[in-house]
Amino acid sequence: MSDKFRIGVFSSGNGSNFEAIVKADIPNVEVSFLLCNIEDAYALERAKNFSIDSILLPHKNFESRKDFEKEIISRIQDYDVDLIILAGFKRILSPFFINYFEKKIINLHPSLLPSFPGLRAPQQALEYGVKFTGCTVHFVDDGVDTGPIILQGLVEILDSDDEESLMKKIHEKEHEILPVAIELVSEGKVKTTEGRRVFIDN
């Protein structure tokens, strides 16, 4: 068994953040697998290109969310990962799953939480008229985009930005901060408190 810090990545789409994690070559971190719930997601091709195990589990093949999540657990438990990263995974996980992997799941969200949680966060930011937005890496709890914040990246919104251009800038920032957040967690430098605050050891 490897003594590296093992991670698994869940994705439903393009997989650019998955690739950013792999290419970052984070010290002492091993990307054990990619799990995807969409059959034609390009993330699966990226995993193949990097010779990383991929697990395809279309959620539509299951009668309930709990059945889907039980199968996920069954398929990934042998990897014995230390951390699960939700990087563009378009399914809300139940308390059952979150509690099974308590404090072992982090999510990447395209806004500066707690502002603009949920879907189409860049569009929400544009509609509200804020001058800055960004992205957030946070622990996953029972809420939607409500867990303790680990790291955030700032993106300026220009007058010329639309949803597409803003999302591109946010993606670039995501590719920067997600590997950093994973490295901090893997080194034991991320300390949670009884409340919502997270402290980073230097």
Strands 105-109 and 83-86: parallel
Specify the number of domains making up the chain: 1
CATH of the domain at 130: 3.40.50.170
180 found inside a domain: yes
199 found inside a domain: no
Q: Is the CB of residue 64 less than 8 Å from the CB of residue 91?
A: no
Q: What is the pLDDT of residue 56?
A: 98
pLDDT in tens, the chain (202 residues): 468 999 999 999 999 999 999 999 999 999 999 999 999 999 999 999 999 999 999 999 999 999 999 999 999 999 999 999 999 999 999 999 999 999 999 999 999 999 999 999 999 999 999 999 999 999 999 989 999 999 999 999 999 999 999 999 999 999 999 999 999 999 999 998 877 889 998 7
Closest by alpha carbon to 53, among 74, 31, 72, 29? Answer: 31
- In angstroms, the CA 154 to CA 144 distance is 21
Token look-up 């995807």 returns: 36
Q: List, by residue number, the catalytic residues.
A: 109
CA 71 to chain centre: 20
- In angstroms, the CA 176 to CA 170 distance is 10
- In angstroms, the CA 174 to CA 134 distance is 8
Q: What is the pLDDT of residue 2?
A: 62
Structure tokens that stand for 197 in this block: 């605050």
Q: What is the pLDDT of residue 51?
A: 98
Is residue 117 reached through a cis peptide bond, with omega within 30 degrees of 0 on the bond before it?
A: no
182 found inside a domain: yes
75 found inside a domain: yes
200 found inside a domain: no
136 found inside a domain: yes
Q: What is the pLDDT of residue 74?
A: 97
Q: For residue 55, list its beta bridge partners.
A: 35
Please state the pTM of the whole predicted model.
Answer: 0.95
- In angstroms, the CA 183 to CA 2 distance is 17
What is the span of the domain harbouring residue 89? 5-193
- In angstroms, the CA 154 to CA 69 distance is 33
120 found inside a domain: yes
Q: What is the pLDDT of residue 166?
A: 98
Structure tokens that stand for 75 in this block: 């398929």
Structure tokens that stand for 17 in this block: 């953040």
